[in-house]
Amino acid sequence: MPDKPIIFNDPVYGFVKIPFGRVFELIDHRYFQRLRRIKQLGLTYLVFPGALHTRFQHAIGAAHLMGEAIESLNSKGEGITQEESEAAIIAILLHDIGHGPFSHALESTLVRNVNHEEISTLFIKELNEIYSGELEMAMSIFKGKYSKKILNQLVCGQLDMDRLDYLSRDSFFTGVPEGTIGSERIIKLLATHNDELVVEEKGIYSIENFIISRRLMYWGVYLHKTVTSAENMLVNIFKRARELIKNGEKIFATEALLYFLQNEVKLSDFSDNKLIINYYASLDDYNILTCLQEWMNSSDVVLSRLSTGIVERQLFKITMQKDPIDQDLISDYREKVISKFNISEKEAEYLVFNDTTENSAYDPIEPKINILFKNGNVVDIAEASDQLNISVLSKPVKKYYLCYPKEIL
Amino acid sequence: MPDKPIIFNDPVYGFVKIPFGRVFELIDHRYFQRLRRIKQLGLTYLVFPGALHTRFQHAIGAAHLMGEAIESLNSKGEGITQEESEAAIIAILLHDIGHGPFSHALESTLVRNVNHEEISTLFIKELNEIYSGELEMAMSIFKGKYSKKILNQLVCGQLDMDRLDYLSRDSFFTGVPEGTIGSERIIKLLATHNDELVVEEKGIYSIENFIISRRLMYWGVYLHKTVTSAENMLVNIFKRARELIKNGEKIFATEALLYFLQNEVKLSDFSDNKLIINYYASLDDYNILTCLQEWMNSSDVVLSRLSTGIVERQLFKITMQKDPIDQDLISDYREKVISKFNISEKEAEYLVFNDTTENSAYDPIEPKINILFKNGNVVDIAEASDQLNISVLSKPVKKYYLCYPKEIL
Amino acid sequence: MPDKPIIFNDPVYGFVKIPFGRVFELIDHRYFQRLRRIKQLGLTYLVFPGALHTRFQHAIGAAHLMGEAIESLNSKGEGITQEESEAAIIAILLHDIGHGPFSHALESTLVRNVNHEEISTLFIKELNEIYSGELEMAMSIFKGKYSKKILNQLVCGQLDMDRLDYLSRDSFFTGVPEGTIGSERIIKLLATHNDELVVEEKGIYSIENFIISRRLMYWGVYLHKTVTSAENMLVNIFKRARELIKNGEKIFATEALLYFLQNEVKLSDFSDNKLIINYYASLDDYNILTCLQEWMNSSDVVLSRLSTGIVERQLFKITMQKDPIDQDLISDYREKVISKFNISEKEAEYLVFNDTTENSAYDPIEPKINILFKNGNVVDIAEASDQLNISVLSKPVKKYYLCYPKEIL
Amino acid sequence: MPDKPIIFNDPVYGFVKIPFGRVFELIDHRYFQRLRRIKQLGLTYLVFPGALHTRFQHAIGAAHLMGEAIESLNSKGEGITQEESEAAIIAILLHDIGHGPFSHALESTLVRNVNHEEISTLFIKELNEIYSGELEMAMSIFKGKYSKKILNQLVCGQLDMDRLDYLSRDSFFTGVPEGTIGSERIIKLLATHNDELVVEEKGIYSIENFIISRRLMYWGVYLHKTVTSAENMLVNIFKRARELIKNGEKIFATEALLYFLQNEVKLSDFSDNKLIINYYASLDDYNILTCLQEWMNSSDVVLSRLSTGIVERQLFKITMQKDPIDQDLISDYREKVISKFNISEKEAEYLVFNDTTENSAYDPIEPKINILFKNGNVVDIAEASDQLNISVLSKPVKKYYLCYPKEIL
């Protein structure tokens, strides 16, 4: 265990200090080092070339912000102890440890009906065993069950360190300056009221800006048309690979990936078979993309075309609109790919597909972002804002889209 | 006239290039050099210590953006000529040349019923005479009367280079990162449609962010409570000084300032008496503040208290609220200052005063910010935005405030 | 071919504009898209977590700077034509296209005695054929043989766009602010003299800073102790893999990688066998790291330990010093690994190894960085600098190092 | 006294937190508020338009860095107490409180043979009396006499918080990115050895960069030719004003400025006459520039030409060279101004003048910047640096210059 704080160079914050030796040990663990090989924004780099930052960087950045937030709250008289501070930093450090590669796309494809929070819990439990129960408090905070509620909220809430870091970081690496949020300022204005996290009155405009920036990042980056197209292509690649394997075809894959393609792994399987978590722990962007490269040469035209699309960036065209896609258009395009690629009607569904996407920037359901006024009143930002815009922002926006290879045009 | 482009170091954009020799000559003129001595944000530095940037810097920054905007539009096939380009750059360079010191506060105090646009026009006319009519086209653009409407709109519109520069610059020097707008991106996405300035479809989120940032700068900086208090104190200082002079008292002042305090100068006076524009041209932040320093020692307690307030930053307390100020509170405070400072009821109005402030971030009245969709449709941002928030933002917000010296508490 | 400039978001410069359709087509080619999968700084991310930027980003950034430099030179009367401008942009865009994965480490390991410039030439030739000879001028500039010498120098010289971009970019993504160079300022101060690239007199301090920053990036980042250790481990991994294959062992590898491990490919082989360039074009960071992951489970303890070292960041300790490493120490450490890992003396050389590293920040050999004084004199920066420091900097610095697994301590 | 930390928006560091109420009270004092009206870089804004930042901003920034440095040292086991921390922050906050307006130029002109450190001491003594001796420890640190030497060195040494802040801040506001120093990194690498401030071994390159950046700021900004010309003009303005007053001419001036022009104030006078410190405390950039504006209309052609030169930026040409100025050239220019302005030979010396300027970036005399190696050795950077450049940098560089009005060319 190192005897003094470890410092990382971080392009976003300049420097990031890891104050506790235990935290440093966790960073050194192979489960955590794995996050170096998992990009935060999956395939987004195909549109924003700088978006190569990893969940490793994000987790450390969020842990850094947690330290700042606790220091800020303690300077206002909140008595968060050393032990709690370390636990909260560990909780946020590990909050995403269960993320798999390209998880936005593959979360429900590789592992059916298991989300990354559940897998994070599995990893944290495992680490807790390794460290003889020393991570109990961190685990309790991670699960939102710790007695000092604000710590839970700093890990998971409308204004948690996860969001503050990922918005800053994603904005930075995509090169989208409009996504800049004043995370430093927001953290300095955090306060507590009845053991709930609140923001001081003079932070109202920063919070409005935070919500608007988040929305901008959603539509401008996370749900960017071309990224949406790429992610759906990736999902179809793995559906197809699974299908081919089921049909008895031999497919290039690493041992771990093959396991998940051959089996329909459920959450309970992880507990029953220790091997699975190790397989899962060896999945990353590198072996996924390596498989795609090999699949470019597959004799299966669907798998080959889709894989080439991702590897050589021959992405599908995408039409996105407020109204449902015309069913005739879909049929027309499907017929075109059937004749173009000489494939079956069922196979055509891999190459011409439609779906919807939805987002609401501020979720009006609890927990809210509460503003603490100087007179002691606490009011939800949706009401505290001088204007109605924030409450209007809460309305989800739904969009319909259709993807298809440009060769058929 | 310099034979190659002049380059300024500019902390906001890195470097600013002045391409035309004529522009450089204008910058060198004493009317323009005067802007070096007029802060862009007046008394705002009393709250944001970095806000010391001047109208000189802003005007040059806006001229720089104009060059970028024209280059961007021309790269899309808009045929803006060299001559038009120079004229548009000169028009934006000189658009604020009529600003007096602390003009947000003093505009209607030093020169009655004359706004800075009218004085800018006077200065530009004067310069046009000096340059034998060479500024005709620039003047026409400045007045919004040039035949190529987009040039007028780049100088004065909802998305003009003035706004793009001042929002970026004010955000930068106040240290309010939430005010950051993607001016580079917006400029790259400018286009034209029926000789109207429009923004390409993929700029929607940048425009939303621009409008929100502008609103944030309004409430967070321009209409900041403490700044509002300071500005009102400054207005009262000059009202009082004028009154004392009327009553025959002798007051320290530079020759030029004395002229404006002794006379009620109207717009027409400028044309009748050439001396006046020269007097006006020698007013700046420096001689105003120097007078305030001397007035700190005035035997008039009102003038002295208010001047000390600005110079030594003993600013009045301010209460700001959505509802009108209680008349009883005002009376109560006035009585307190009467007894505290041993002054008359009428004099008390200088030390306890109330008013309202109002802002609407996006003015729904023409000219609008229009979005050009790929299908050729042009739609106002208030409708193009996925959500209603922008249209709601257009509703003006009114606030009431009351200022008073803290000594009476 | 797109009908208007393509814009990339670039965190370093904000936006990068690709002005010519032909350039855009080249970017779209799979040879160039491959650079998305090759990190600029190889294994440096193991020390600077943000250093994940790719040769794709660098090449586009350098092309952007080339456009700026040509605009700057033309604004000073240099008559670079549209055609030359496109050719120079293409030359810099493609200058690194022959880089393989982790090339700093693997350049002479995967392909014997062939450097990346030679492979870049092969790729450019290939592309020139595809585009029916349209890249002739670009190729001539790339080879430094074009008649207008300054274009050659902008692609390859002491102050070329390659260096200006990589120093800015590496400094940005590693989060080492001391590496910041004023590339914008340097470009604005470029000039020509007798068809040689020179820098205007007032750029002296910027050039000094550039040289010092470069040196700082060398010792602080490129030759960082821990990075040096990791790179040497990677070299040994591939030496060992090649040896195992020679000994008839079966090893996991992609088809392309296997080819290079089984054969000792020489430069002439590329011309003789078209397959080879395609194999080479499919090598990237992804398949290299995927192999390392699989090799972690190899029965060969050398291959397994080294691979685990890179994948799970269990890097070797490294001692770096000005004097040669004590031979007894090496022997002692080798004996320790022999007993610890139960391996042969020869195998021990893979786990305990020593070498030297050398750098000189400014190469006093031609081409020099010349300063153009106002009086028309042209002087090398090493003499133009007020002080002798730059000439002293030219002396190469040599360091000795020894690497070994920490398990033996 | 405020009950929680006061936060300033600072464009350089984002936010600056003032942790102690006593510090906040000192900031509120009119002696300190005065620094809001004194630009850090005097007339430099005539060349770098953004250089309008004040000694107020610098002092608060340095106090902020002091807090960071103490936190960093304490995290390494240095036991700096709360009381010492507050005292050190106060010492650095007040270290420049004796600076007068344009002090680089006017220091020995307004007050003969008294430097700003001596006046700072006077002000601090005065404040110590006001606060009943509470500033004793701060004063001891300021004077370099406190028992814990590192605190003295943090206030005044080769690597003190003064330098770290002013280099960062001046680089930021002038827009000279090459001046960027890694102050955050340097502070994190501070350590102590035998109660001396040292820098950890891995900070060597940052220190080299710091020294080089400082040198660059000297030659590029602080000793910039045009700034040197302007400063000398200002000195001559005040010499001339003083002379005119001696000759019985009546001159516009504020009461305080008049006192210093009429009398030759010595250091001892400040103690003898309490009025003088108050006069001094009311001098600032504003009343100086206001006087210059009025003096533009003086009947004395020397005073008028020089004053117009500063106010309307009609600066004198300056020739700067390594060799002494040719005496004949000076005579020739003097004769030209005599005939051009119809003045005496003695008066001509105000308009054509020559002098020398000198700088050495790293002062090899104690105190040195010491590097602490991992093996415990402490070595001066001039020797620790791999190369000799730093020791060479220590040699002072001398330049000769001549200034004259361009009208005579």
- Closest listed residue to residue C391, CA positions, set D387, A316, A352, B137: D387
d(CA A77, CA A96): 30
pLDDT at D2 exceeding the cut of 50: no
More confident of the two residues A124 and C203: A124
- Cβ–Cβ contact D392 with C under 8 A: yes
Q: Min CA distance, A20 vs chain D (Å)? A: 11
Residue in chain C nearest A313 by alpha carbon: C33
Q: Is the pLDDT of residue D104 over 90?
A: no
Task: Kindly state the tokens that stand for D63.
Answer: 């106090």
Residue of D nearest to B15 (CA): D175
Whether residue C20 lies inside any domain: the answer is yes
- Indicate yes or no: CB of C188 within 8 angstroms of CB of B17: yes
Domain-located, residue B137: yes
- Chain-chain contact of D4 with A76 (C-beta, under 8 angstroms): yes
β-strand C317-321 against C397-404: which pairing, if any? Answer: antiparallel
Claim to verify: residue A291 and residue A373 sit in the same structural domain: no
Percentage, residues of chain D above pLDDT 70? 94
Going by C-alpha positions, the residue among B190, B228, B199 that lies closest to residue B355 is B228
Residue reference for tokens 């939805």:
A358
pLDDT for D386: 61
Q: Does B5 touch chain C (CB under 8 A)?
A: yes
User: b or e along D199-233 (b: 16 or more beta carbons within 10 Å of the residue's beta carbon)?
Assistant: bbbebbbbbbbbbbbbbbbbbbbbbbbbbbbbbbb
Burial (CB count within 10 angstroms: exposed 0-12, middle 13-18, buried 19+), residue C270: buried
The interface pTM score, or ipTM, of the predicted complex is 0.92
Q: CATH code at A281?
A: 1.20.1250.30
**Which of A90-104, A344-358, C2-16, C28-42 shows the lowest per-residue confidence on average (mean pLDDT)?**
C2-16
Q: Which percentage of chain C shows pLDDT scores above 70?
A: 94
Identify all chain A residues contacting B168, using CB atoms and an 8 Å cutoff. Answer: none
D7: nearest CA in chain A?
A: A188
Average confidence (pLDDT) over C323-333? 96
pLDDT digits (tens, 9 = 90+) for A134-179: 999 999 999 999 999 999 999 998 889 999 999 999 999 999 877 8
Interface test with B, best of D52, D226, D298 (most B CBs within 10 A): D52
- Cβ neighbours of C178 in D, within 8 Å: 180-182, 185, 205-206, 209
Pairing of strands A196-200, A370-372: parallel
Token duo for residue B59 = 């005007």
Q: Are residues A307 and A237 in the same domain?
A: yes
Is residue B134 within 8 A of residue B128, CB to CB? The reply is: yes
Taking chain C, what is the end-to-end CA distance rounded to the nearest angstrom?
A: 61
D9 touches chain B (CB under 8 A): yes
- For residues A197 and A331, membership in a common domain is answered with no
CB nearest B387 (choices: A205, A213, A395):
A395
- pLDDT confidence bin for C182, thresholds 50/70/90: confident
In a domain, B257, yes or no: no
pLDDT at B366: 42
Give the distance from residue A158's alpha carbon to the nearest chain C alpha carbon, in angstroms: 27
Residue type, C199: V
Distance of CA B119 to the CA centre of its chain: 13
Chain D touched by B54 (CB under 8 Å): yes
Mean pLDDT of D16-45: 93
Q: Among A183-197, A349-363, D156-170, D315-329, which is the least confidently predicted range?
A: A349-363
- Contact criterion met (CB < 8 Å) for C313 and A48: no
In a domain, B141, yes or no: yes
Residue with tokens 């990353």: A284
Please report, for residues A209, C101, C335, the alpha-carbon distance to residue C281 in angstroms, rounded to integers and kept in the order given: 45, 10, 41
Whether the CB-CB separation of A191 and A198 falls below 8 Å is answered with yes
- Residues of chain A contacting residue B176, judged by C-beta atoms under 8 Å apart: 182
Would an 8 Å CB–CB cutoff place B213 in contact with chain A?
yes
Q: How many domains does chain D have?
A: 1
At residue D367, does pLDDT exceed 80? no
Residue A117, pLDDT score = 85
D53 touches chain B (CB under 8 A): yes
Extract the tokens encoding B169: 């610059």
Q: Which of A49-63, B111-125, D42-56 has the lowest mean pLDDT?
A: B111-125
Which residues from C are below 8 Å from A293, CB to CB? Answer: 254, 282, 284, 286-287
CA-to-CA distance for D26 and D21, rounded, in angstroms?
9
Contact D91, D153 (CB under 8 A): no
Q: What is the DSSP string of D172-217?
A: HHHT-GGG---HHHHHHTEEEETTEEEEEGGGHHHHHHHHHHHHHH
Distance in angstroms (rounded) separating the CA atoms of residues D155 and D144: 8
Those chains having 3 or more beta-carbon pairs within 8 angstroms of chain D are: A, B, C
- Angle at the Cα of A380 (from A379 to A383), degrees rounded to 5? 90
In order of B229, C67, C140, C152, the CA distances from C156 in angstroms are 60, 15, 12, 6
Contact C396, C321 (CB under 8 A): no
3-state secondary structure of A214: helix
What does the pLDDT read at residue B364?
A: 47
Residue from C13, C168, C205 whose CB has the most chain D CBs within 10 Å, to mutate: C205
A181 inside 8 A of chain B by CB: yes
Q: Is the pLDDT of residue B31 over 80?
A: yes
What predicted TM-score, i.e. pTM, was given to this entire model? 0.89
Give exposure, D137-150, as e/b (b: 16+ Cβ within 10 Å): bbbbbbeeebebbb
Q: Are residues A10 and A99 in the same domain?
A: yes
A321 shares its domain with A389 = no
Considering only the beta carbons, identify the residue of C176, C182, C395 that sits closest to D387: C395
In the structure encoding, which two tokens stand for residue D337, read together? 């101004």
- Arithmetic mean of pLDDT, B10-33: 90
> Domain range for residue A384?
6-223+360-395
Count the helices and strands in chain D (H runs, E runs).
21, 9
Q: What is the pLDDT of residues B61-92, one digit of tens each?
A: 999 999 999 999 998 889 999 999 999 999 99
CA distance C153 to C159: 8
Tell me the C-alpha to C-alpha distance, in Å, between residue A144 and each of A163, B309, D234: 16, 51, 66
Which one, of C80, C77, C123, C73, lies nearest residue C98 by Cα? C123
The whole-angstrom separation of Cα D159 and Cα D169 is 15
Model confidence at C115: pLDDT above 90? no
Could you give the count of Cα atoms lying within 13 Å of A210 in the half-sphere of its Cβ? 26
Distance CA D355, CA D403 (A): 9
Considering only CB atoms, B188 lies closest to which of C15, C76, C185, namely C15
A121 and A270 assigned to the same domain? no
Q: Test A9 with C54 for CB contact under 8 angstroms.
A: no
Residue D40 to residues D44, D166, D222, D285, D291, Cα–Cα distance (Å): 9, 9, 11, 10, 20
DSSP C128-157: HHHTTTTTHHHHHHHTT--SSHHHHHHHSS
Residue positions counted in chain C: 409
Structural domain contains residue D294 = no
Q: Can you give the CATH number for the domain in which D90 is found?
A: 1.10.3210.10
The position carrying tokens 């259709």 is A402
Which stretches within A18-160 are classed as H helix? 21-28, 30-33, 55-75, 82-94, 103-110, 116-130, 136-142, 149-155
Which residues make Cβ contacts (< 8 Å) with residue A263, sequence separation at least 6?
A269
Sign of CA dihedral D145, D151, D156, D159: positive
CB contact under 8 Å between C181 and D185, yes or no, is no
What per-residue confidence (pLDDT) applies to B182?
80
> A319 at the B interface (CB within 8 A)?
no
- pLDDT above 60 (res D18): yes
Question: Which of A327-341, B27-41, B42-56, C207-221 comes out lowest in average pLDDT?
Answer: C207-221
Query: Residue A8: closest CA among chain D residues belongs to which residue?
Result: D185
Binary contact (B175, D15; C-beta < 8 A):
yes
A31 or A357: which carries more pLDDT confidence?
Answer: A31
Residue of B nearest to D221 (CA): B9
d(CA D53, CA B196): 40
Q: How far is D381 from chain A (nearest CA, A)?
A: 23
Nearest CA in chain B to C14: B184
C176, C185, C397 ranked by CB distance to D387: nearest: C397
Neighboring chain C residues of B184 at a CB cutoff of 8 Å:
14-15
Q: Which of D8, D14, D294 sits opposite B254 (nearest CB)?
A: D294
Residues of chain C contacting residue D390, judged by C-beta atoms under 8 Å apart: 389
Strands (E), B109-233: 190-193, 196-200
Cβ pairs A/C, distance under 8 A = 100
The pLDDT score that the predictor gives to residue A375 is 82
D188 and chain A in contact, CB less than 8 A: yes
Q: Is residue C132 situated within a structural domain?
A: yes
Tell me if A172 and C54 make a contact (CB, 8 A cut-off).
no
Which chain B residue has its CA at the smallest distance from C5's CA? Answer: B75
Highest mean pLDDT among A210-224, B257-271, D138-152: D138-152
Contact D173 B11 (CB under 8 A): yes
Mean model confidence pLDDT for chain D: 90
On the question of pLDDT at C366 being above 60, the answer is no
Report which DSSP code applies to D39: B
All residues of chain A having their beta carbon less than 8 Å from the beta carbon of residue C281 are: none
Counting as contact any 3 or more CB pairs under 8 A, the partners of C are A, B, D
Q: In this structure, is residue A251 part of a structural domain? A: yes
Task: Assess if residue D44 is contained within a domain.
Answer: yes
Distance from CA of D11 to the nearest CA of B (A): 4
Chains near B (3 or more Cβ pairs under 8 Å)? A, C, D
**In Å, what is the CA distance from C16 to each residue of B66, C10, C61, C64?**
19, 6, 7, 6
Q: Quick check: B4 and C76 CB within 8 A?
A: yes
| Contact indicator for B354, B316 with CB cutoff of 8 Å | no
Domain shared by A270 and A161, yes or no? no
Comparing B258 with C114, the larger pLDDT belongs to: B258
**Inter-chain contact B313–D14, Cβ cutoff 8 Å?**
no
